Amino acid sequence: MALETNDKNFKYDVLDSSVPVLVDFWAKWCGPCRILGPIIDQIGIKSLGKAKVYKLNIDENPVTTEKYKITAVPTVIIFKNGMIHNTLLGVQIEKNYLDALGL
C-alpha cells in the first residue's frame, strides 16, 4: 500500500529519505487518478524495504503542489536523494514506475 504524505511531512517523508521515493500527485475528482491508485498501491507492496511510495492529494496540499509545478494529475515523481529523478505523467503500466524506481 501507498502511504499518504502532506505539506507538513513532505520534507521528512520524501526529501530526507535514504531510499528512492515515488510520489503520486492525485485528486479525488480525477478519473485517471482512480485508475492509477491500485497500481500505485501494488508498487508500494512490491517495493517494501527498497523504496517508499506516497500519495499526495493536490487539493489538500497546495504548497507542495505549487513547489513542484503540478498542473496535471496524475503526475508521479520519483525522488532520489531529495532530488527529482524522473517524472511520469498520466496513467502508465506498473513496469514503467518500477523501472523509474530502479526496481
Among 2, 33, 43, 73, which one carries the catalytic annotation? 33
Confirm if 78 and 22 have CB atoms less than 8 A apart: yes
Q: Is 33 a catalytic site residue?
A: yes
Whether 51 sits among the annotated catalytic residues: the reply is: no
Distance (Å, rounded) from C-alpha 64 to C-alpha 1? 22
User: Which one is catalytic: 6, 30, 41, 91?
Assistant: 30
- Segments in 55-93 forming alpha helices (H): 62-67
Where do the DSSP E strands lie in the chain? 3-4, 21-26, 52-57, 75-80, 83-89
List the catalytic residues: 30, 33
